[in-house]
Amino acid sequence: MRWLTGWPQPCAVCRRWQADRVCADCLACFARPVHRCLRCAMPLAAETPICGACLRQPPSVERTIVALHYRAPWDGLIAGFKFHRRPGLAALLAERLHAAVIAERPPGDCIILPVPLAEARLCERSYNQAWEVARRLARRLHLPADAQTLLRLQNTPHQVGLPRQQRLANVAQAFAVDPLRRTRVAGRHVAVVDDVMTTGATIEGAARTLLQAGAASVQAWVVARAD
C-alpha cells in the first residue's frame, strides 16, 4: 500500500482512518514537545539550555535534535520498521524527524550522513534503517546525503550498563571516513542521522571520527531517544 498524505489512511498509532500518517490527536497525546539539553537531548527543566554532564564534559556533537521519546507507541513502530522493513514507517519516522529539525533551525548548508551498520549486520538485515530515514529527510530538506562516506568498521557490543569511559573507548575505533570521500566532510557541517539514541556513545564515536576528518561541526538528528 502506498502512503500518501491527504488521502484517507489508518493512523499508524490508533488505526483511525483520516488524512495523515499519524492523526492530530495521537501527535498531541504522544509527541508533545519536550525541553531538552541542546547538546545531548536529555530532558531538562525549562529554561536550562545545557545539562550538567555536557557542561562538565562537552560532547563532540554540537547539537542533538530528537523527534520522539523512545517509548510506546513509537518503540513498537520503530521495531516494526527496523526488523520488518516497512517503508510506510520509514516515511512516517522521516516526517516526524523533519518536523523536529525544521522547528530547530538547523545549519542551512550541511551534508546528511546516516549512522552506518557494520557489513555483517547489514547483510543480516539487508538494509540500514538510519539510511532509510536519512535519505527521505534529505529529500525533504533539499540537502545532500550519502551512505558511503562514514563507515562502520565493527559493531560495538551492547553498551548499556558500561561506564561512560568504557563506552567511548569501545566506539572510538568503530568508525572511519572513507579516504576517497574525505572532501565530502572536510570543512563542512555534518548532520548524523540515527533511528534510536540510548547512551549517546555511538553518536559520539561517529562525531569524533567526523571532526578528526575535518568536519566543521557535527549535529545529531535522531528519531527517538531513550531517556
Residues at the site binding Zn ion, with contacts judged by CB under 5 A? 11, 13-14, 23, 26, 37, 39-40, 51, 54
Of 14 and 122, CB closest to Zn ion: 14
Of 69 and 181, CB closest to Zn ion: 69
Of 20 and 178, CB closest to Zn ion: 20
Nearest approach, Cβ of 53 to Zn ion (angstroms)? 5
Cell numbers at 194, concatenated: 540515527
Q: In the beta sheet, which residues pair with residue 17?
A: 10
Nearest approach, Cβ of 104 to Zn ion (angstroms)? 15
How far is residue 119's CA from residue 102's CA, in Å, rounded to a whole number? 32
Nearest approach, Cβ of 176 to Zn ion (angstroms)? 26
Residue 132's nearest CA partner among 185, 92, 90 is 90
Could you tell me if residue 6 is left (phi over 0), alpha (psi between -120 and 50 degrees) or otherwise beta? left
Of 104 and 119, CB closest to Zn ion: 104
Nearest approach, Cβ of 205 to Zn ion (angstroms)? 17
Contact status, residue 209 vs residue 182, Cβ threshold 8 Å: no
Q: Which runs of E-coded beta strand occur in the chain?
A: 9-10, 17-18, 63-69, 110-114, 150-152, 175-177, 189-197, 217-225
Cell numbers at 33, concatenated: 514537545
Integer angstrom CA distances of residue 68 from 9, 96, 111, 219: 22, 8, 22, 17
How far is residue 191's CA from residue 213's CA, in Å, rounded to a whole number? 14
Nearest approach, Cβ of 191 to Zn ion (angstroms)? 18
Of 11 and 141, CB closest to Zn ion: 11
Nearest approach, Cβ of 35 to Zn ion (angstroms)? 12
Of 23 and 100, CB closest to Zn ion: 23
Q: Beta strands 175-177 and 150-152: pairing type?
A: antiparallel
